[in-house]
Amino acid sequence: MNQYVYDSKVKPLTVNDLLAMKQRGEKISCLTAYDAGFSTLIDKVGVDMMLVGDSLGMVIQGHETTLSVTIRDMVYHTRCVSTARHRAFIIADLPFMSYATPLIAAKNAAKLIQLGGAQMVKLEGARIEIVRFLVDQGIPVCGHLGLLPQLINQLGSYKVQGKEPADAAKIIADAHQLQQAGAGLLVLECVPADLAREISIQLDIPVIGIGAGVACDGQVLVLYDMLNIGSGKRPRFSRNFMGDAGSIEEAINAYHQAVKQSRFPTAEHSF
């Protein structure tokens, strides 16, 4: 695997570039980002995607969940990230209750794209009608199945999803429905590796895993977790890439190369 050579004149990746990566069997690397400084470092290393996640509610704002994050917060942080990057594809989360109906979703997605500079928005759950409506308006959408952090008050705790056959079958069916509705990407969070492998094989769109095994088309981690600078306990599926690195840039590059070469996640970081 040749290391990416940074070029500030390169054009941003598109959703078609990511689809081509899946088709040729090249792993897709992704990290969360929340500001211009980290955006610059992540982009310089060559990480393919940056997710401006509502996880900022926990790692930036210090809350216990993502539920307090507003669309205004998301627009601000997305703009910080998108302004500083040259190559990486930018996805922004639609936060809690910002996509309750198709029209509300479209209004808030437009803010993330027009004001924030996002290239795609991500929403949690099998919200098929909403995904289809957004795609019909020309808004690229990333689905998110498995563990859904915005449902924490219903779930009660952050735990692995899809372990029972019926639950696994529901996630597979939802994944196909999201693809059929026009979703261009899918994030699978905290699901058994075998289930994630099956979904990655079945879908034409790229599947990005977090705590979902190495067989996904790509991987994403929360930046603060993989740098071991979070205030809370690092999730089992994450890894401290700062442990053997001499700088933050080295740690980010180590993650990027480990994903590209299918060396991360290992069984230790999977379910």
Annotated catalytic residues are 189
Longest dimension (CA), the chain: 49
Beta pairing partners, 261: none
Instruction: Determine contact, residues 145/187, Cβ cutoff 8 Å.
Output: yes
182: nearest Cα among 136, 249, 244:
136
Instruction: Determine contact, residues 105/76, Cβ cutoff 8 Å.
Output: no
Q: Residue 200 and residue 194: Cα distance in Å, rounded?
A: 10
Q: Which residues are CB-contacts of 190 (< 8 A; sequence separation ≥ 6)?
A: 146, 147, 158, 159, 160, 161, 210, 211, 212, 237, 271
Instruction: Determine contact, residues 13/48, Cβ cutoff 8 Å.
Output: yes
Beta pairing partners, 139: none
The one-character DSSP state at 5 is P
